[in-house]
Amino acid sequence: MDVNITLVAEAVSSARLANKHQVIDKLAELLAEVYDLKAEEISEGLEQREALGSTGFGKGIAIPHCRSADVRRPTLAVLKLEEPIDFGAADAMPVSLFFALVSPENAGATHLHALAAISRITRDDSRLQKMHDAPDGDALFAILTNQFLRDAA
């Protein structure tokens, strides 16, 4: 099953985002701004998922995710911090790349396919290093867009 993910990427100074809650709020704001969602609702959904266990899975990456009645298809915001922060990742390493996924409430398997697609993109060490090295949101967006297009072909 193909997953159609809408994407926005941004790189920010980590000085402004010093902890997990600030990162989640920033991701929610980014999703709300670009996709006309309610930031508070998205932040609350992401926080509820984090309360079940950290979505930091290693290699400096976290995939906070939730569902929302306000989206029609999986929606992704990517945030890159200049300096990684503690996100309670499985490998105990700090995190600098965040992939926030919001799927429709009834997405079921589509949500899981979207998470799997993000995971596949981050498994390639060369591509992962390019994402960590991306100087800004535009460069990060280009890396991810090229990969999504390649996977769709």
Report yes or no on 1 lying in a domain: no
pLDDT digit string (tens) for 85-106?
A: 999 999 999 999 999 999 999 9
Report yes or no on 109 lying in a domain: yes
Contacts of 123 (CB under 8 A, 6+ apart): none
Domain span at residue 39 reads: 6-152
What CATH number is attached to the domain comprising 60?
3.40.930.10
Which of 59, 71, 88 is CA-nearest to residue 28? 71
Report yes or no on 12 lying in a domain: yes
Tokens of residue 35, six digits: 């996709």
Q: How far apart are CA 142 and CA 129, in angstroms?
A: 14
Are the beta carbons of 121 and 105 closer than 8 angstroms? no
Other beta carbons within 10 angstroms of residue 123's beta carbon come to: 11
Higher-pLDDT residue of 43, 14: 43
According to the model, what pLDDT value does residue 137 have? 83
Q: How far apart are CA 117 and CA 119, in angstroms?
A: 5
Report yes or no on 76 lying in a domain: yes
According to the model, what pLDDT value does residue 4 have? 45
In terms of DSSP bridges, do strands 61-62 and 56-58 run parallel, antiparallel, or are they unpaired? Answer: antiparallel
Give the catalytic positions in this structure.
65
pLDDT tier at 21, thresholds 50, 70, 90: very high
- Total domains in the chain come to 1
